[in-house]
Amino acid sequence: MGKSHDIYRQVGYIQQTLSQNKKPIGIFIAAGCPLSIRVNSREEDGKTYTDPLIPDVAGLTKIITNKLSSNDPDKPSNSDKLLMQMKEDGLENPNIEDILTEIRSLIQVAGKGKVREFVLKDLEELDLEICKIISSEVDKELPNEETPYHNIAIWSRSINREKPVHFFTTNYDLLIEQALEEEFCPYFDGFIGAKKAFFDLGAVENESLLHARWARLWKIHGSINWRLDNKKNITRSYKKEETENYLIYPSHLKYDQSRKMPYLAMLDRLKDFLLSSSAALFICGYSFSDDHINDVIVQSLRNNPSAITYSFLFGNLDDVKYQKAKECANSVANLSLIAFDKAIIGRNEGTLVFKDDGQLGEIPGNVVVSCKKETDDGTGTMTETHWHELRLGDFAKFGAFLKEISVNQSDEDEKNHK
């Protein structure tokens, strides 16, 4: 029998860590999280279908490339030309982050001449069009106040903290901001002001001076409401002027200093957090596809054995998209991967097992699911197999888990004060 990990024990460790008010705790919200918010319910062929509030990277890539295509092989658009060039270079199915990275690489060397048949104006216009579509597609609001984002906000403000909660996200949307504000959870995101807030690097670097009840929000890849004006000032505004550019940057290319500065400042927040004594980071919706972020996580954990990171994966561990995640978890003992069926904990990969069904009711948020299936053994005899899955990688269940922890914590605090 192979290695196994006890679900009940692991959930206990996680719950205990998330319930502490003295430990630095961070939540990393990545691209897979908005997929848990389902909208547009409809019936087709007797089945109910829904759409994600915001598409994933693959869905967003399809929307953008379709909108920018000429649909005429004889008169390709600039987008079509770029995709053909990338295919010739060996990148068969580039996603929108790959495409933006390619455009911005070409912009760096275009100058006043041509680069790969593009002039600078073509590339800048293509960059702007892509960012416009991204902004339009991800500029959505949470449909109600019963979402996992709201549950995370409730958990964040549920206890008096000696250390602030840090939220990290690679998403450009404003869903976490909406939830924090609707739950009256104060937060600092690096900007100062109201009408046209400005990015204050000094305040970011000295955020530890702020009160611990203020959550920190660090948007690593920029945001649809970040702007860069023609004077290279970085602001946050819901209105975009014609003279301003979007600050959306999925890659770590060496942009001009104004674009580079907020990106590096956000990465520094992640690095500094992971280098804090006894820091605990919980990641959801991230497949470890960004090598630069992976490097920050792995190197920081390697340099700080007192820190720990749990990454909750949607689906099974052996899914090919989690290959990089497994490589990272196998390189440092304090990075744990927990998928539905298996986990890598302390560099040991093993099946997740739940030994006592009577303890299921003790697990918050219904994150442990009992599963069964019938199989034919080849002789016509059906055999029933039972197992349990730990679904913290489902962002909806993770949110419910946090909400129930916060309710239990509030009850405990009230009891202690009587």
**What is the identity of the amino acid at 333?**
A
* Residue-wise pLDDT tens digits, 36-50: 999 998 888 888 889
Residue of 149 and 58 predicted with greater confidence: 149
* Residue-wise pLDDT tens digits, 109-168: 888 888 888 999 999 999 989 989 998 999 999 999 999 999 999 999 988 899 999 999
Sequence-distant (≥ 6) Cβ neighbours of residue 356 within 8 angstroms: 8
Query: What 3-state class would DSSP assign to 199?
Result: strand
Phi, psi dihedral angles at 290 (to 5 degrees)? -100, 105
Both structure tokens of 109: 């060397």
* Residue-wise pLDDT tens digits, 318-376: 999 999 999 999 999 999 999 999 999 999 999 999 988 888 889 999 999 998 888 77
Cα–Cα distance measured from residue 41 to residue 48, given in angstroms and rounded to the nearest whole number: 7
In the chain the first and final C-alpha atoms are separated, in Å, by 50
Cα–Cα distance measured from residue 46 to residue 366, given in angstroms and rounded to the nearest whole number: 28
Categorize the per-residue pLDDT at 412 as very low, low, confident or very high, splitting at 50, 70 and 90. Answer: low
Check whether 233 has a pLDDT greater than 60: yes
Cα–Cα distance measured from residue 165 to residue 178, given in angstroms and rounded to the nearest whole number: 17
Phi, psi dihedral angles at 196 (to 5 degrees)? -140, 80
Q: Mean pLDDT in the chain?
A: 90
Complete DSSP assignment for 332-369: -TTEEEE-SSEEEETTEEEEEE---GGGGGGSGGG-EE
Query: What pLDDT, on the 0 to 100 scale, is given for residue 254?
Result: 43
Residue of 43 and 277 predicted with greater confidence: 277
Check whether 255 has a pLDDT greater than 60: no
How many other CB atoms sit within 10 Å of the CB of residue 210? 15
Sequence-distant (≥ 6) Cβ neighbours of residue 61 within 8 angstroms: 94, 95, 96, 99
Check whether 96 has a pLDDT greater than 80: yes
CA distance readout (Å), 225 to 198, 202, 311, 363, 371: 12, 21, 28, 39, 43
Check whether 17 has a pLDDT greater than 90: yes
Cα–Cα distance measured from residue 278 to residue 22, given in angstroms and rounded to the nearest whole number: 10
Categorize the per-residue pLDDT at 384 as very low, low, confident or very high, splitting at 50, 70 and 90. Answer: confident
**What is the identity of the amino acid at 217?**
L
Residue of 142 and 244 predicted with greater confidence: 142
Categorize the per-residue pLDDT at 251 as very low, low, confident or very high, splitting at 50, 70 and 90. Answer: low
